């Protein structure tokens, strides 16, 4: 760890990502899904973990597919030499269709209108477009309603320049409502036979996200789409631990300033925190400009020397203040804001509880000015 840290001349605040834990989580998913394939979700810069580094490792360890949100993310992967199939999950803007075909990216079609547009443009390029049909089974985001899916299949099967590569839907409440999840599962699974009759072959069906993989026992279909669990996170600590997931990401910094503050003095913007007795306050060079949530003002914690200390006063754009009481600390001493230090840990899920945020928001929110260092 010291090696990566000292190798670069950089600011003291950085994100450390342990790719060995990615391998651990990926093989956990593999073991839990039988024969199903894995579409590893790497959108939004691999949930803040770095699109390219994460995708390269996932390709190396045998992911069947990568899933991204938008065209640009798929293009970045192809430019970097990623060869495995890539599904773009988001909606498609008509004028971008040519690029999907040029870069061999699989599209999501969520309406008859868009699949005709894909067909028309693919025809002009003398290519066949690989398309996954998106069915809405109850989330009401994008997709053709499951009750009209049969008609959508018939329409799609008649298009000369379309190669249907999959049929999928997305779960709305897999972390807390298994009954509705089962309803969504059945609505999609019930379309299998119809699709085989219409397309005259078996097409891969996929539905489960991380919460679905962890909680839903009744079937996995032909492929699963984990994101969160690959990064070793979950919607709460209990489910993360039950699934044996290991977080990849730590957020680290160091003490850059130490001062003694007298009882009654206020700290940071608004002087919202008053120290109750003479104490030592240290400053850490991280703030909401790095994605450290402002909502951790007066309620976050950091680890120094394996011990928890409170964030006092408001989080600034570039700095936070921490009360270390009477403990001895020194300039340059390591500080952990997310991750483990000795026996103590601050998890992303803990930060979510304090800030009423989603785990996705916390890691995706870590801005580009925080360097990412990779281990293993
Ligand atoms: C269509 C789709 N599939 C799969 C995922 C992965 O979800 P999770 O990260 O909860 O596993 C997402 C994430 O938002 C998604 O939008």
- The 10s digit of each residue's pLDDT in 182-218 is 999 999 999 999 999 999 999 999 999 999 999 999 9
Q: Read off the pLDDT band of 8 (50, 70, 90).
A: low
CB atoms within 10 A of CB 134: 25
| Whether the predicted pLDDT of 4 surpasses 80 | no
Query: For residue 10, is pLDDT > 80?
Result: no
Q: Does domain 249-375 have CATH number 2.40.37.10?
A: yes
Distance CA 78, CA 101 (A): 12
What integer is the mean pLDDT of 176-183? Answer: 96
Residues comprising the chain, all counted = 376
Q: Given a cut of 50, is residue 103 above it in pLDDT?
A: yes
- For residue 241, the tally of other CB atoms under 10 A from its CB is 12
Q: Which residues lie below 8 Å from residue 106, measured CB to CB, with a gap of 6+?
A: 85, 86, 87, 88, 100, 130, 131, 132, 165, 166
Average pLDDT over residues 89-115: 96
Determine the residue of 89, 106, 133, 234 to mutate for testing ligand 1's pocket, defined as the one with the most ligand atoms within 8 A of the Cβ atom.
89
Q: Cα(210) to centroid of ligand 1, in Å? A: 7
The response to whether residue 225 sits with its C-beta less than 6 Å from ligand 1 reads yes
pLDDT digits (tens, 9 = 90+) for 114-144: 999 999 999 999 999 999 999 999 999 999 9
| Pair 135, 166: CB distance under 8 Å | no
Residue identifier of the C-alpha nearest atom 5 of ligand 1: 209
Q: What is the mean pLDDT of residues 14-20?
A: 98
Structure confidence at residue 151 (pLDDT) = 97
- Whether the CB of 209 sits within 6 Å of ligand 1: yes
Nearest CA to ligand 1 atom 8: 227
Q: How far is the CA of 207 from the centre of ligand 1 (A)?
A: 9
- pLDDT, position 9: 66
6 has pLDDT over 70: no
pLDDT at 189: 97
227 lines ligand 1 (CB under 6 A): yes
* Nearest protein CA to atom 13 of ligand 1, as residue: 227
pLDDT > 90? residue 46: yes
Q: What is the reported pLDDT for 66?
A: 98
The pLDDT tens digits for 271-315 are 999 999 999 999 999 999 999 999 999 999 999 999 999 999 999
Please state, in angstroms and rounded to a whole number, the distance separating the CA atoms of residues 178 and 186. 12
Domain coordinates of the chain in residue numbers?
Answer: 19-237, 249-375
Q: Which structure tokens are listed for 289?
A: 């400009």
CATH code, residues 19-237:
3.20.20.10
Ligand 1 closest atom vs CA 212: 11
Under a CB-based contact definition with an 8 Å cutoff, are residues 130 and 153 in contact?
no
What is the number of the ligand 1 atom nearest to the C-alpha of 210? 11
Q: Is 57 in the pocket of ligand 1 (CB under 6 A)?
A: no
pLDDT for position 92: 92
**Residues 82, 55 contacting (CB under 8 angstroms):** yes
342 pLDDT higher than 90: yes
Residue-wise pLDDT tens digits, 213-254: 999 999 999 999 999 999 999 998 999 999 999 999 999 999
Pocket test for ligand 1, best of 26, 170, 232 (most atoms within 8 A of CB): 170
Tokens for 130? 């690989």
**Residue 325 near residue 278, CB atoms below 8 Å:** no
pLDDT reading at 1 higher than 80: no
Residues known to be catalytic: 43, 269
Q: What is the predicted pLDDT for the residue at 91?
A: 84
According to the 3-state scheme, what is the secondary structure of the chain?
CHHHHHHCCCCCCEEEEEHHHHHHHHHHHHHHCCCCEEEEECHHHHHHCCHHHHHHHHHHCCCCEEEECCHHHHHHHHHCCCCCCEEECCCCCHHHHHHHHHCCCEEEECCHHHHHHHHHHHHHCCCCEEEEEEEECCCCCCCEEHHHHHHHHHHHHCCCCEEEEEEECCCCCCCCCHHHHHHHHHHHHCCHHHHHHHHCCCCCEECCCHHHHHHCCCCCCCEECCCHHHHCCCCCHHHHHHCCCCCCEEEEEECCEEEEECCCCEECHHHCEECCCCEEEEEECCCHHHCCCHHHCCCCEEEECCEEEEEECCCCCCCEEEEEECCCCCCCCEEEEEEEECCEEECHHHHHHHHCCCHHHHHHCCCCCCCEEEEC
- Token digits of residue 281: 């306050």
- The answer, yes or no, to whether any atom of ligand 1 lies below 6 A from the CB of 297, is no
The response to whether residue 226 sits with its C-beta less than 6 Å from ligand 1 reads yes
Quick check: CB of 21 below 6 Å from ligand 1? no
Give the model's pLDDT for residue 5: 52
Task: Output the average pLDDT for the chain.
Answer: 96
**Using CA atoms in the order 169, 175, 176, 180, what is the torsion angle rounded to 10 degrees?**
10
> Could you tell me the pLDDT band of residue 43, with boundaries at 50, 70 and 90?
very high
Which of 29, 40, 41 to mutate for ligand 1's pocket (most ligand atoms within 8 Å of CB)?
41
Task: Give the percent of the chain with pLDDT over 70.
Answer: 98
What is residue 2's predicted lDDT score, i.e. its pLDDT?
Answer: 46
**58 Cα: distance to centroid of ligand 1 (angstroms):** 16
Please tell me if the CB atom of residue 89 comes closer than 6 angstroms to any atom of ligand 1. Answer: yes
CB of 278 within 8 A of CB of 263? yes
C-alpha span between 328 and 167 (Å, rounded):
60
Query: Residue 166: CB within 6 Å of ligand 1?
Result: no
The answer to whether the Cα torsion of 113, 117, 123, 127 is positive or negative is negative
């Amino acid at each position: 760890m010291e090696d990566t840290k000292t190798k670069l001349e950089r600011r003291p605040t950085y994100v450390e990502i342990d790719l060995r834990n990615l391998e651990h989580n990926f093989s956990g998913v593999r073991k839990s899904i039988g024969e199903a394939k894995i579409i590893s979700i790497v959108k939004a810069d691999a949930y803040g973990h770095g699109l390219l580094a994460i995708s390269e490792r996932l390709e190396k360890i045998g992911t069947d597919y990568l899933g991204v949100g938008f065209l640009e993310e798929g293009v970045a992967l192809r430019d970097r030499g990623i060869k495995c199939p890539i599904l773009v999950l988001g909606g498609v803007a008509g004028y971008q269709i040519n690029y999907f075909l040029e870069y061999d990216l699989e599209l999501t079609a969520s309406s008859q209108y868009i699949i005709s547009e894909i067909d028309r443009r693919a025809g002009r390029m003398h290519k066949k477009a690989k398309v996954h049909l998106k069915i809405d089974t109850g989330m009401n985001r994008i997709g053709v309603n499951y009750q009209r899916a049969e008609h959508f299949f018939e329409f799609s099967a008649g298009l000369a320049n379309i190669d249907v590569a999959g049929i999928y839907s997305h779960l709305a409440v897999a972390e807390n409502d298994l009954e509705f999840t089962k309803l969504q599962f059945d609505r999609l699974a019930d379309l299998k036979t119809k699709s085989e009759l219409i397309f005259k072959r078996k097409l891969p069906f996929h539905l489960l996200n991380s919460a679905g993989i962890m909680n839903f026992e009744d079937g996995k279909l032909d492929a699963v789409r984990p994101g969160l669990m690959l990064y070793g996170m979950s919607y709460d600590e209990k489910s993360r631990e039950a699934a044996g997931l290991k977080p990849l990401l730590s957020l680290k910094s160091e003490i850059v300033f130490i001062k003694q503050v007298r009882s009654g003095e206020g700290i940071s913007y608004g002087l919202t925190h008053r120290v109750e007795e003479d104490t030592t306050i240290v400053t850490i060079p991280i703030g909401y400009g790095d994605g450290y949530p402002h909502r951790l003002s007066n309620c976050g914690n950091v680890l120094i020397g394996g011990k928890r200390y409170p964030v006092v006063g408001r989080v600034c754009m570039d700095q936070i203040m921490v009360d270390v009481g009477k403990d001895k600390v020194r300039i340059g001493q390591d500080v952990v804001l997310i991750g483990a230090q000795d026996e103590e840990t601050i998890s992303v899920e803990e930060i979510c509880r304090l800030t009423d945020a989603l785990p996705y928001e916390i890691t995706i929110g870590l801005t580009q000015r925080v360097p990412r260092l990779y281990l293993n």
